Amino acid sequence: MDDLVVRQLDAFKQYFGRVNLSYAKSKNLTPYDVLIIASMIEREAIIEKDRPLIAAVIYNRLRDGMNLQIDATIRYAENNWTQPLS
């Protein structure tokens, strides 16, 4: 089990190390912020072509100080990954 975790972490570090963080830095976002936002986009997007639009919505809402109001954040907060949201 430990070997699996080590391999996953190594793969993550290798992949994330190639991410261009210049845009994030210009918006005062940390690498951790980028990771969290990417996770939200990944969870929210059903098809890949929707990812840029979802990312734009998230970044605009963050910029404007709005609540994100996306299913991924609500599901995370409620620890509800399968039941309908109310």
Q: Could you tell me which of 60, 16, 18 has the C-alpha nearest to residue 39? A: 16
Reference 44, options 68, 61, 67, 78; nearest CA is: 68
Angle between helices 71-78 and 31-44 in degrees, nearest 10: 100
Please write the tens of the pLDDT for every residue from 12-22.
999 888 989 99
Which DSSP symbol is given to 85?
Answer: P
Report pLDDT digits (tens) over 11-63.
999 988 898 999 889 989 999 999 999 999 998 898 999 999 999 999 999 99
- Rounded distance between C-alpha atoms, residue 40 and residue 85, angstroms: 16
